[in-house]
């Protein structure tokens, strides 16, 4: 029987509930037609978040067993939750299916968490144990990273709307390029474990859509490892507990220090290898160089040879230039005499041509130069009239004339 039927889930009404001094609970679970005896040991009963009592409708999960001393069949209860959770679970599944169809759970929209966040936002209740767990983990792992707490109720009526408002405040800080507060690069949404009723605020549709609009990666750390909410599916990363969420949001400072130490070791090794390589090169160059005095002597002999060659070349060049000057000096007098004679003959020819053009020679042949009172040259009788006064220039002297008649 134990191998074939277990585990089992039973829903019914509690009857005859008692809690022994040992902490074990004994009762029956019944419906309208049947009942079965139940035992819930101290370990399981200590996990209850409500007080069982007669008449309370519950859902039990456990295993069937036989109490040998009396030969009674009994149900060993491992977990108990109040009835109604089944209806809530169905509602949870319907919302989950609808949001999944819209793509809110798609892996393609999930973002990787930042390696070095400049600031971490936390949404949880100020009185919750989850806040202490998250802050303790962040202080231990990354005390240098500023943490901004956005308080909100995480259970009961109005909790979902408060969490939406808290997220909105953190989103504003994440979107701000500059501001008085720290820049938020990742957000943690946290709450401890509980029943489906306790965690129901995290199954709110408005909260799910607000999480989907987060401008930065968001980690959901709600409940225990076995608890799942809509917020878990929408978040970029789901952590099994609030402490695990904090650990995912911030890489441990020791990890960075270890990485820096490793980088420092590698850098030093590279530097030493370079120094050794250059030292070997210097040793090789020194071996090829030999004694410096021998090298200086060889260079001095080379310079002496170059100086001798330069002196010989300079003397030869000077002698060639002197010979050229002598030849030019011999040719210069004869050429100068010829040039002067040619220029003298050309000057005499030009002087004769200039004298032929002298107007005085024309006037000496009996001609006169006539101009009117304005100094205009008269070359035609039509240019003057009777009574006009003219000036005649002769070869020697001049005359003032008056026209009596034009013929």
Tens-place pLDDT, residues 65-94: 888 888 888 999 999 988 765 567 778 889
**Which of 138, 137, 243 shows the shortest CA–CA distance to 190?**
243
Nearest to 39 by CA among 56, 84, 22: 22
Any residues with CB less than 8 A from the CB of 142 and at least 6 apart, and which?
Answer: 250, 251, 252, 253
Integer Rg of the chain from CA: 60
Establish if 16 belongs to a structural domain: yes
Q: Dihedral sign for Cα 135, 138, 144, 148, please.
A: negative
Summarize pLDDT for 169-224 with one digit per residue, the tens.
999 988 775 556 678 999 999 998 877 778 899 999 999 999 999 999 999 999 88
Domain ranges, residue 17: 2-83
Specify the pLDDT at position 356. Answer: 67
**282 and 247: one domain?**
no
Which CATH number characterizes residue 36's domain?
2.40.50.140
43 inside domain: yes
Residue 96 lies in a domain: no
Give the angle subtended at the CA of 68 by the CAs of 64 and 72, to the nearest 5°: 55
Pairwise pLDDT comparison (91 vs 26), residue with the higher score: 26
Q: Does residue 289 surpass a pLDDT of 70?
A: no
64 Cα distance to chain centroid: 62
**Domain assignment of residue 92, yes or no:** no
pLDDT (0 to 100) of residue 115? 87
What local confidence, expressed as pLDDT, does residue 66 receive?
84
Provide the pLDDT for residue 277.
80
User: In total, how many domains does the chain have?
Assistant: 4
pLDDT band at residue 45 under the 50/70/90 scheme: very high
Q: Would residue 372 count as lying in a domain?
A: yes
Question: Which tens digit of pLDDT belongs to each residue from 246-280?
Answer: 999 987 666 666 667 778 778 888 888 888 787 77
Same domain? For 47 and 64 the reply is: yes
Q: Please check whether residues 289 and 186 belong to one and the same domain.
A: no
Q: Judge whether 93 and 203 are in contact, CB under 8 Å.
A: no
Q: Which residues pair with 14 in a beta bridge?
A: 29
**Residue that finishes a domain, picked among 251, 277, 311:** 251
Output the CA torsion sign for 59, 63, 68, 73. Answer: positive
Considering the domain architecture, whether residues 123 and 191 belong to the same structural domain is answered as yes
Are residues 203 and 172 part of one domain?
A: yes
Tokens of residue 161, six digits: 């709307």
Decide if 203 is inside a domain: yes
Residues 279 and 262 in one domain: yes
pLDDT per position as a tens digit, 310-331: 767 767 777 787 677 667 666 6
Contact 184, 216 (CB under 8 A): yes
Region 290-309 average pLDDT: 71
Task: Give 62's pLDDT tier (boundaries 50, 70, 90).
Answer: very high
Q: How do 8-19 and 25-30 pair as beta strands?
A: antiparallel
Regarding whether 204 and 118 lie in a shared domain, the answer is yes
Which of 83, 101, 122 corresponds to the end of one domain? 83
CATH of the domain at 152: 3.40.50.2300
Q: With a cut of 60, say whether residue 304 has pLDDT above it.
A: yes
| pLDDT given at position 187 | 95
- Binned at pLDDT 50, 70 and 90, residue 103 comes out as very high
Classify residue 142: in a domain, yes or no.
yes
- Whether residue 170 is found in the same domain as residue 213: yes
Write down the mean pLDDT value for the chain: 83
- Whether residues 135 and 22 share a domain: the answer is no
The verdict on 215 and 246 lying in the same domain is: yes
Domain stops at, among 218, 251, 284: 251
Buried b (16+ CB within 10 A) or exposed e, 267-299: eeeeeeeeeeeeeeeeeeeeeeeeeeeeeeeee
Query: Cβ distance 125 to 151 under 8 Å?
Result: yes
Cβ density class 185-224: b for 16+ within 10 Å, e for less: bbbbbbbbbbbbbbbbbbbbeebbebbbebebbbbbbbbe
Query: Does one domain contain both 215 and 122?
Result: yes
Residue 225: the pLDDT is 77
pLDDT for 175: 75
Clarify whether residues 122 and 213 are in a common domain.
yes
User: Is residue 126 predicted with pLDDT exceeding 70?
Assistant: yes
Residue 336 has pLDDT above 60, yes or no: no
Asked whether residue 387 is assigned to any structural domain, the reply reads yes
């Amino acid at each position: 029987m134990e191998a074939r039927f277990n585990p089992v889930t039973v829903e019914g009404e509690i009857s005859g509930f008692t809690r022994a001094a040992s902490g074990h609970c004994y009762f029956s679970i019944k419906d309208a037609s049947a009942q079965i005896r139940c035992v819930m040991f101290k370990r399981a009963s200590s996990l209850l978040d409500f007080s069982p009592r007669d008449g309370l409708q519950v859902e039990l999960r456990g295993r069937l067993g036989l109490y040998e001393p009396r030969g009674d069949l009994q149900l060993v209860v491992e977990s108990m939750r109040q009835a109604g959770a089944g209806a809530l679970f169905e509602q949870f599944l319907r919302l989950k299916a609808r949001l999944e169809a819209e793509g809110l759970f798609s892996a393609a929209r999930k973002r990787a968490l930042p390696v070095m966040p400049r600031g971490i936002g936390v949404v949880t209740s100020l009185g919750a144990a989850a806040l202490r767990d998250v802050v303790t983990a962040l202080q231990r792992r990354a005390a240098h990273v500023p943490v901004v707490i956005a308080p909100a109720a995480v259970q009961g009526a109005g909790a979902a709307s408060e969490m939406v408002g808290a997220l909105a405040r953190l989103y504003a800080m994440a979107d701000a390029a500059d501001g008085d507060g720290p820049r938020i690069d990742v957000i943690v949404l946290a709450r401890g474990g509980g029943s489906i009723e306790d965690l129901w605020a995290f199954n709110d549709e408005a909260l799910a859509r607000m999480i989907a609009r987060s401008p930065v990666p968001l980690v959901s750390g709600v409940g225990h490892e076995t608890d799942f909410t809509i917020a878990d599916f929408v978040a970029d990363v789901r952590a099994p507990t609030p402490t695990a969420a904090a650990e995912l949001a911030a890489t441990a400072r020791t990890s960075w220090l270890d990485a820096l130490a490793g980088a420092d070791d590698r850098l030093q090794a590279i530097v030493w290898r370079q120094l050794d390589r250059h030292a070997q090169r210097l040793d090789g160059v020194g071996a090829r160089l030999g004694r410096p005095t021998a090298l200086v002597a060889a260079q001095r002999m080379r310079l002496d040879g170059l100086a001798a060659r330069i002196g010989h070349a300079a003397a030869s060049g000077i002698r060639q230039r002197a010979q050229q000057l002598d030849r030019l000096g011999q040719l210069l007098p004869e050429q100068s005499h010829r040039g002067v004679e040619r220029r003298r003959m050309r000057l005499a020819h030009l002087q004769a041509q200039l004298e032929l053009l002298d107007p005085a020679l024309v006037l000496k042949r009996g001609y006169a130069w006539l101009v009117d009172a304005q100094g205009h040259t008269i070359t035609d009788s039509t240019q003057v009239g009777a009574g006009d006064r003219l000036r005649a220039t002769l070869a020697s002297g001049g005359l003032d004339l008056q026209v009596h008649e034009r013929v």
